[in-house]
């Protein structure tokens, strides 16, 4: 496995994984359990990491992420809670109302 992406924001890592999945690149998120300490921002040494299974697709994965991150302004906009429909500010990865985590329903 090769690390392809890391971010203090769990929702960005989840987004990155969904991009790779959409392109049939198998990936896994590591160290996610260490994140989300304060407002979803993990300390530098505990950032969740996205790893690809197939090292041969690492470069392809990197380019896909680079492209999608660049045009994905939506990540800095509020998201809607899957649990209760509340609008949540982009810096939070968890709903303040019902504790549903961003992207949880996908896993």
Residues that bind Zn ion (CB under 5 A): 81, 83-84, 86, 95, 97-98, 100
Rounded Cα distance, 77 and 72, in Å:
10
CB of 94 to Zn ion, least distance (A): 9
Min dist CB 16 to Zn ion, Å, is 23
For Zn ion, the closer CB: 16 or 95: 95
Exposed (0-12), middle (13-18) or buried (19+): which is 86, by Cβ within 10 Å?
A: middle
Closest CB 46 distance from Zn ion, rounded Å: 25
Rounded Cα distance between 107 and 95, Å, is 17
């Amino acid at each position: 496995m090769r690390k392809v992406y890391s971010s203090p924001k769990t929702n960005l890592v989840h987004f990155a994984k969904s991009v790779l999945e959409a392109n049939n690149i198998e990936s896994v998120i590591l160290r996610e359990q260490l994140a989300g300490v304060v407002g979803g921002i993990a300390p530098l040494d505990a950032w969740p990491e996205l790893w690809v299974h197939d090292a041969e697709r690492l470069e392809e994965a990197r380019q896909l992420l680079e492209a999608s991150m660049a045009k994905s302004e939506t990540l800095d906009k509020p998201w809607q809670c899957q649990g209760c429909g509340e609008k949540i500010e982009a810096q939070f990865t968890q709903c303040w109302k019902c504790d549903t985590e961003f992207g949880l329903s996908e896993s």
